[in-house]
Structure 1
Amino acid sequence: MRTVIVFNHPYEGSYCNAILGAVTKGLQKAGHQVDLMHLDNDGFNPRMSQADLKAFVAHQPTDPQVIDYNERLKKADHLIFIFPIWWDIMPATTKGFIDRVLSPGFAYDHHPRGFGLVPLLKNLKSITVITTMNKPKIMYSLLIGNLIRKVMLKSVFKTMGYKNLEWISLTSVKRVSQEKRVKWLSNLESRFSKFNSQSVTL
């Protein structure tokens, strides 16, 4: 299987980078081909320009980087996002990836009868979102309302028609012990090392 990881964190020493390492190691143990889209290292521009908007409407991307990402996503059996939660939502670069890369005519299209959307990435079996944040889980859930679940899983991918969606949320990252952070990484590596074509839901 081929897994595309969309990663967004500008600091190499971040816990997100440690997560990336653990997830990649686990997937490789499971025999996956891992294709990393490191948005920060790739210099991905999240801003939707006038030219981008015209391409969006025409279903014909013109940005070489967007076209490259599109071609690589077409081959993906599984898609994983890894990013920190900043001000209760994803970083701007991840949001820009959704806006500019997961475009109509590529990731989804309107239903021919006019009711809802239909997914176009036929190889894609599942989507996992892995996030970190410093808020406690209960605060994010009760006071903020789990925006990642609402925005990414429901408003984006479920609306597009994709299934097998999962969100792995690691909370209070700075407050927990180093031992717990290490255990989280070990659990992630183990979890993804068992991921195969017969088990698309982690």
Structure 2
Amino acid sequence: MKNVIIFDHPYTAIASENEPHNRAYAAAVLKQTVSMLKAKGEDVDIIDLHADHFNPVMSAEDLASWRTGHSLDPQTLDYQNRLLDADKIIFIFPIWWELMPAMTKGFLDKVLSRSILPKHGKSPFPKNPTVIMMTTMGTPPLYYKLHYHKPVFYSFWVGTFHKIGLKKFKWLTFDGDAKLAKREAALRKIKF
């Protein structure tokens, strides 16, 4: 099984070590997810958007190449090829202002171009991967679901991946404001 993980946090993947002012619960989720997958003997390919200096802004040139299905950006082409070879596509990011960060949104905008969008209603992904969204948030998850009505779910899953033909989806969310013992317990339960 090939897992491609798209990680989005400004502190990058190294922020999993609980170092003050350079730590992120999302990075701890990434570290535990990688450990779990490797323990199962699965391949893990990490795209760390901030470490890669990914530019999420869709320029006029990017949009023109998106429309023709021929990206001029070698980084975007590399990301596309890695996704097309995946059995599982895993996104790990914090929820800010009830949605995904700009890097994740820009990744979706630029990487899911016409060159890999569905043709005639069929998924462009040969392995029909499962999409897994793993999020951290300060809003209590039940409140996020009931009060805000899960906007990240609808924009990410319904409005993006389901629309382009992928039907297998899983969402795991982690309460970043929970006490340390609860956050650590949640990390130990990661499996899919």
Q: Same fold (TM over 0.5)?
A: yes
**What secondary structure does 2:135 align onto?**
strand
**What secondary structure does 1:144 align onto?**
coil
Question: Which residue identity does 1:103 align to in structure 2?
Answer: S
Paired positions, count: 182
Aligned to 1:51: 61
Aligned to 2:18: none
Aligned to 2:183: 181
Report the Cα offset of residue 125 of structure 1. 2.5
Instruction: Please say if residues 153 and 166 of structure 1, whose CA atoms lie closer than 8 Å, have aligned partners that are also in contact.
Output: no
Is 2:68 the partner of 1:66? no
Aligned to 1:105: 115
Aligned to 2:95: 85
**What secondary structure does 1:160 align onto?**
coil
Matched ranges for 1:124-135 at <5 A? 124-135=128-139
Instruction: Please say if residues 67 and 113 of structure 2, whose CA atoms lie closer than 8 Å, have aligned partners that are also in contact.
Output: no
Using the alignment, how far apart are the partners of 1:72 and 1:32 within structure 2?
15
Using the alignment, how far apart are the partners of 2:122 and 2:113 within structure 1?
12
Report the Cα offset of residue 79 of structure 1. 0.5
Using the alignment, how far apart are the partners of 2:171 and 2:114 within structure 1?
24
Using the alignment, how far apart are the partners of 1:38 and 1:95 within structure 2?
14
Report the Cα offset of residue 84 of structure 1. 0.1
Report the Cα offset of residue 137 of structure 1. 1.9
Question: Larger relative CO (CA 8 A, sep 6+): 1 or 2?
Answer: 1
State TM-score, norm by structure 2. Answer: 0.91
Alpha-carbon RMSD across the aligned residues, in angstroms, is 1.1
- Deviation track 1:133-180 (CA, whole Å, cap 9, x = no partner) reads 011123211221101211111110111110111111113x22x22111
Report the Cα offset of residue 110 of structure 1. 4.2
Give the fraction of aligned pairs with identical amino acids, expressed as a percent.
Answer: 36
| Structure 1 gap ranges (5+) | 112-116, 192-201
Using the alignment, how far apart are the partners of 1:147 and 1:3 within structure 2?
25
Question: Which residue identity does 2:163 align to in structure 1?
Answer: T
State TM-score, norm by structure 1. Answer: 0.87
**What secondary structure does 1:181 align onto?**
helix
| Structure 2 gap ranges (5+) | 16-22
Question: Which residue identity does 1:135 align to in structure 2?
Answer: T
